[in-house]
Amino acid sequence: MLEIKNPAQIAKMREAGLVVAAIHAATREVAVPGATTKDLDDAARKVLAEHGAKSNFLGYGGFPATICTSVNDVVVHGIPSADEVLQDGDIISIDCGAIIDGWHGDAAYTAFVGSGHSAELVELSRVTEESMWAGIAAVAKGNRLVDISKAIEGYIRRQPRPASGKYGIVEDYGGHGIGSQMHMDPHLLNYVDRKRGRGPKLVPGFCIAIEPMVNLGTAKTHVLEDDWTVKSNDGSWSSHWEHSVALTEDGPLVLTAPDGGKAKLASLGIIAAPDPLA
């Protein structure tokens, strides 16, 4: 059963999404050489407190922190630590969420720590982010869930191969429904699995977190002994991008983007839905 939201509920999710956007802005400033991943978590906690929001990560399944900090070959679910110091040349994905009045927001981005990153790493992040936006552009009335998966995978497959040989689209993790819970049906693959069929039809009130994860090598991953940290099997570095999106009667609204996705969607020929909080 899909949870279909009414406009008032989507407005609450937009409030939560803007808190997530504020966490992203705060952690970007802290993600510099010499900072610890705990410093990033502390910055996120401060933003949540300032907005009167709750964390949907802290305590989720026993997760011990407010955000996930996944450095270099860590794909997702890295745990912040005072012992993990960011180095010049690292990349890090920061995944976080917020709850306002019981409604959830969830988004992630990949940041470059310091300078001197290879063109291959810069392109990895660009390809991953743009594949997310291709998926967001497929959130339209009459489409089906598989159309989002097809758009994400299609964008990645159309890009020139990196010098390392390939982009590994992570298969063990994907996007998800979001609303009164952080993780809800449906599960969204970042590739097309024809055995799964086309999935549900997209209708106004449908909300989804779209989050491609792409490795600069194998798609295979493994979980460390902490039962959270996910790494690529071959040690290849990884990029992760995510936005929470609502489909409204007027089109898609990117709940976790400061402008609701207006500028980026316009560049793709799509009119974003009006911001209910504007």
Strand 91-100: give its sheet, edge to edge.
Answer: 67-71, 91-100, 103-112
Cβ proximity of 79 and 61 under 8 Å? no
The pLDDT score that the predictor gives to residue 85 is 98
The pLDDT score that the predictor gives to residue 165 is 81
The pLDDT score that the predictor gives to residue 240 is 98
Q: Per-residue pLDDT tens for 19-30?
A: 999 999 999 999
Q: In the chain, which stretches have pLDDT less than 50?
A: none
Which spans in the chain are helix H? 7-30, 37-51, 119-137, 145-158, 262-267
CATH 2.60.40.3880 fits 7-267, yes or no: no
Q: Per-residue pLDDT tens for 234-262?
A: 999 999 999 999 999 999 999 999 999 99
213-to-31, 40, 155, 201 alpha-carbon distances in Å: 20, 21, 13, 24
Q: Within 13 Å, how many C-alpha atoms sit on residue 174's CB side?
A: 23
| DSSP annotation of 228 | S
How many CB atoms are located within 10 Å of the residue 94 CB? 28
Q: Per-residue pLDDT tens for 184-217?
A: 999 999 999 988 889 999 999 999 999 999 999 9
The pLDDT score that the predictor gives to residue 197 is 87
